[in-house]
Structure 1
């Protein structure tokens, strides 16, 4: 996918209206994102070679995806295919459906394409593919208010052929809507590049096309950015949607959002888009943000399960005060925490302060508004919102 990024300037007050509260049950699921799984998925994806739409390699990748979902426990009724033609070639979109409890007929779509051109496409888009797989594995038995569709599109590189077919023949039939969607969350090219500073992620909203859904897309993307701050170490950067599989949905009036790497590798569509050239840790961190955001969008249960209780974050006992704060902010750590890092960011994800092992922070340089305080230890992290009021 070729990307053009335009930074959006958002007011702090508008952003803060969409901010979410930290939910421990969501964090516990985020903590299940496995670097080993992400890496294995990326390497398996690369092993199929160049997965041009309709090629045997493309079909092999599709069959591998299906086998992965089957290994997670998804049954035949949950795994469907959408067949389309491109020229003389035939290819398939893969759709996995997880039914919601309160709104089973309204869907959150999380999607990415699995076709590639020229090279194995580890970043474009093995990265998105691996994250979808990991999110589906983790959330398989987690109750959600809304239904979720995990969709792997083919034909993206030929002009969004697969996603256009799905929208025009499955979501809509004879121009009549068949599937009601809450949001379409697209993940494309989030592999980063080894050697780059990969600590930011573009959060994409629709600010062109149909004007009627632009405001809703921006609001949803602000929520995506907030989840990124809450559940990952990445800093969100607001940007515009462009030329990926969410566009056919947008053209029909649906609400879209998405992730795309901030520092562009420029390896897409070349033989250099290989595992050796991406940053697996970056994909892992985007995976954390994705699992946090997907739970938020789908209304995942906030009740801690038995395994969640065992994984409870001891940093939750932290005290950060006063709130609202003026010129000084106190960090009261739980017992036995001697080494920690404190970051203060604005609600656009811009890092403003960074301190190590400091329990009293001078906040006199911060203007009035809402901020995110993130405290990290070797094994855990916790985020809290604070207000500066002078």
Structure 2
């Protein structure tokens, strides 16, 4: 992140009413499960992977390391996507890693939490191994928590070369989707490792103050919610500042709503060979992960109760409901990639049956030819059987 100046605004004049966002004990319980050991281990491992410049083995090894982390948390291969790209002036192939967790109520609207994993000159343990470590911990803690909105955990490459990875993603995925991808919020985490030997007790929360201005008010409102979440679910204080020169800016330019985290005590080691764990404060990084976890539970509207049913266990869902011409079965975290899908009418007759092999995360089924009414959607695989009522209208 190329950020030479922070305008830190005292929050004395920006106190937000406590009744606007209430403390939710279930969210605190999850945020409190953040692990200092995990944060420190992630930083250590990230540093050991070397200088993550475009076209290097270190960058590819870091991508592979990230994938192994998500898989170890219970995410499936179907939930992981790689997006490769090149850009003018370089023949190196760079990759973004996107991990998708489908929401239960608004599956087609996404809360994105993102940060870059490339570095320049040094290993980039703070810029941006610290953001990577925080995002990984949020992903671990939210893996089995149902959320109303879908979540995308995105690890961008090419940030240090001019936001190349996020720009490619906005161009080819966000704007390349028909209809255009619906984004509730982009939450960027960049350089949140603190400074060794200093009192690191404050995180800077970033809002959109640039052009286009049409998304500024919404960004400010979301950043106020981020501030409140930080103070509800972590011991950190907050400062308010502006968004600048990191991956959320390509989304901001696209008219999306953004917010972000950035360390308040800024390191002097950014973009040097001394951007190392020894010059950071990993306890601060852990507290930032706590705050980010609480914020993501809030932004994605997480369930405060967990069901023991198979569908909830694997976070499966069928949408839209009611439906008209097509329905979609979301596998969630189900580990199998083969199943039989059936649709049963109110008389018990199977009106649609299909065996799905090499199943994608979300599979569509045409239903426009069926009579309108109530049906039971059934997914069967080995000893697992999941049912969902659905209405065609």
Fold agreement, TM-score > 0.5: yes
> For the Cα contact (< 8 Å) 1:184–1:256, is it kept in 2?
yes
Structure-2 separation of matches of 1:13 and 1:133: 31
Give the secondary-structure state (helix, strand or coil) at the position aligned to 2:103: coil
Per-residue CA shift, 1:69-107, capped at 9, x if unaligned?
111111111000111114111110000000100000000
1:303 paired with 2:282, answer no
Work out which of the residue numbers 192, 215, 218 in structure 2 matches 1:216: 218
Match of 1:147 in 2: 150
Match of 1:164 in 2: 167
Per-residue CA shift, 1:185-219, capped at 9, x if unaligned?
00000001110110000000001121100000000
Match of 2:237 in 1: 235
Match of 1:334 in 2: none
1:109 paired with 2:107, answer no
CA distance 1:71–1:187, shift in 2 (3 Å): same
> For the Cα contact (< 8 Å) 1:18–1:222, is it kept in 2?
no
1:10 is displaced (CA, Å) by 6.2
Match of 1:203 in 2: 205
Listed as ranges, the matches of 1:251-270 within 5 Å are 251-270=253-272
Structure-2 separation of matches of 1:19 and 1:305: 28
1:14 is displaced (CA, Å) by 7.3
Give the secondary-structure state (helix, strand or coil) at the position aligned to 2:126: helix
Give the secondary-structure state (helix, strand or coil) at the position aligned to 1:203: strand
Listed as ranges, the matches of 1:19-98 within 5 Å are 19-86=20-87, 87-98=90-101
TM-score, scaled to structure 2: 0.75
TM-score, scaled to structure 1: 0.76
Per-residue CA shift, 1:282-329, capped at 9, x if unaligned?
0000000000000000000123789xxxxxxxxxxxxxxxxxxxxxxx
Per-residue CA shift, 1:139-185, capped at 9, x if unaligned?
101010000000000000000000000001110129x6531000000
CA distance 1:13–1:50, shift in 2 (3 Å): closer
Match of 1:134 in 2: 137
> For the Cα contact (< 8 Å) 2:145–2:306, is it kept in 1?
no
1:17 is displaced (CA, Å) by 8.0
Give the secondary-structure state (helix, strand or coil) at the position aligned to 2:188: strand
Give the secondary-structure state (helix, strand or coil) at the position aligned to 1:66: helix
1:7 is displaced (CA, Å) by 3.0
List gaps (5 residues or longer) in structure 1: 307-390
1:7 paired with 2:2, answer no
Q: How many residues align?
A: 305
List gaps (5 residues or longer) in structure 2: 309-393
Structure-1 separation of matches of 2:241 and 2:121: 27
Structure-1 separation of matches of 2:122 and 2:20: 39
1:6 is displaced (CA, Å) by 1.8
Structure-1 separation of matches of 2:71 and 2:260: 26
> For the Cα contact (< 8 Å) 2:194–2:280, is it kept in 1?
yes
Structure-1 separation of matches of 2:10 and 2:287: 25
User: Where in structure 1 do 4 or more consecutive aligned residues deviate above 6 Å?
Assistant: none
Give the secondary-structure state (helix, strand or coil) at the position aligned to 1:123: coil
Give the secondary-structure state (helix, strand or coil) at the position aligned to 1:89: strand
CA distance 1:74–1:202, shift in 2 (3 Å): same
Structure-1 separation of matches of 2:296 and 2:290: 10
1:54 is displaced (CA, Å) by 2.4
Per-residue CA shift, 1:89-131, capped at 9, x if unaligned?
1110000000100000000000000000111111000000011
Structure-2 separation of matches of 1:18 and 1:117: 44
> For the Cα contact (< 8 Å) 2:207–2:223, is it kept in 1?
yes
Per-residue CA shift, 1:255-307, capped at 9, x if unaligned?
0000000010121100110011110000000000000000000000123789x
Structure-2 separation of matches of 1:13 and 1:2: 27
Per-residue CA shift, 1:204-260, capped at 9, x if unaligned?
000112110000000000000000100111101000000000001000110000000
Structure-1 separation of matches of 2:20 and 2:82: 36
